[in-house]
Amino acid sequence: MKLVFATNNRNKLKEIQSLLPESIELVSLEDINCIEDIPETSPTIEENAIQKAMYVKKHYGYDCFADDTGLEIEALNNEPGVFSARYVGEAKDANANMDKVLDKLATHNNRKARFKTVIALFINNEIKTFTGICEGQITEKRQGEKGFGYDPIFMPNGYTQTFAQISLTEKNKIGHRGKATLQLIDFLK
């Protein structure tokens, strides 16, 4: 089975590819010559994932799946949420985004947070969604060199290391994107 993953994010591509069985061939947006920025104008993570999957199907004709992920921080009224990648602006600067989170939390004791990923699959003219959540907390400073996005400041519950310090294999077992992807795989079987 060949499926388009509606992303240009190489890190996400690597994470998802590592989970998929060999029977599923993952194709990127680059592979189908989709170079435009797919709109993400919906107010929720779920709707953005659906919007991206439908865009690829409509404009390129491929069955595909798309994900959208948000970091929801309790003390910040679930910010940055749907705006996680663009928290500081359209540049999608991960370091600036982390700085803003750390600055906003500087006076808060409550550092509870969660990552939420929704994968929307457009297949056989139907949309199916799969949600993965990972609870944790925001650290006081960056820790680790692995991962991407907010990984250096997110420590999952039950761990003493951030996502940027643990292996990709471990992150996929406990992480939001891994959980949603496993649901997708189960559905495709």
Sequence-distant (≥ 6) Cβ neighbours of residue 22 within 8 angstroms: none
Question: Which entry of 37, 63, 67, 68 is annotated as an active-site residue?
Answer: 68
Token code pair at residue 143 = 């820790």
Query: Would strands 112-123 and 126-138 be described as parallel, antiparallel, or unpaired?
Result: antiparallel
- Told to judge if 68 belongs to the known catalytic residues of this protein, a careful annotator would answer yes
* Neighbouring residues of 98: CB distance < 8 A, sequence distance ≥ 6: 142, 150, 152, 153
Secondary structure (3-state) at 79:
strand
- Distance, in Å, from the CA atom of 4 to the CA atom of 25, rounded to the nearest integer, reads 8
Q: Give helix 10-17 / helix 176-188 axis angle, nearest 10°.
A: 50
Evaluate the CA torsion angle 164, 175, 135, 85 in order and state its sign.
positive
> Residue 186 has which token pair?
């189960």
Q: Which residues are catalytic?
A: 68
